[in-house]
Structure 1
């Protein structure tokens, strides 16, 4: 196996990763410019016998806790509806899913 093939594959991966990161930053910038708030969080503990778990939602930029509790998933959504009645929150994991690295396929000459 040639060093050049490995370098080609790495360059291909780095270019794709750079495109994904640029896309993510652009998406965040556009959402924030439109007045939306990027948040992160969700379940942070195990479910108890009543199907309740600890959870928290944080501002992605500042880390400030915007909401937290110990409830079912539906209970968390009820609290979020109160905290974010205008539905301005956008969850980071959903943005990441929209901008994840695509399958680059094999690089000619390298084993898959």
Structure 2
């Protein structure tokens, strides 16, 4: 059981470290004049472009990928927008070693990162506040 507790602690610690790396990369990009955006295809033809930091919808449409690309080119002629997914590709995420079967490891990671904070804290011996801080999803 202690191996499972250690694995869950490692998952949370890796998530926390990765979030710090992502925050550093975003700060660097924003200091260089880039805007982080999110969004994309949200239906068969529907799409949106959202400011990652403020959640402001910058553009939306129902005219497929062509409309999405046209809006991006019109709103970002200087190519200073970077999609959040690309930020994630720039950051080397932490690998966690485990002897758990892949499916079980994935289920434990999902629970550790989005499960009941009090339950997780009680199981691994951390405070609820620490679990919440380390669970923080971007």
TM-score, normalising length: structure 2 = 0.63
| Larger strand percent | 1
- Aligned equivalent of 2:80, options 88, 91, 106: 88
Taking only aligned residues, the RMSD between alpha carbons, in angstroms, comes to: 2.0
Mind listing any 5+ residue stretches in structure 2 that lack a counterpart?
102-138
Show the counterpart of 1:8: 6
Question: Whose Rg is larger?
Answer: 1
TM-score, normalising length: structure 1 = 0.75
Q: 1:66-105 residue pairs with structure 2 within 5 A?
A: 66-99=58-91, 101-105=93-97
- 4+ aligned runs moved over 3 Å, structure 1: 97-103
Show the counterpart of 1:40: 38
| Larger helix percent | 2
Mind listing any 5+ residue stretches in structure 1 that lack a counterpart?
47-52
**How many residue pairs end up in the alignment?**
101
CA shift, 1:72, in A, is 2.9
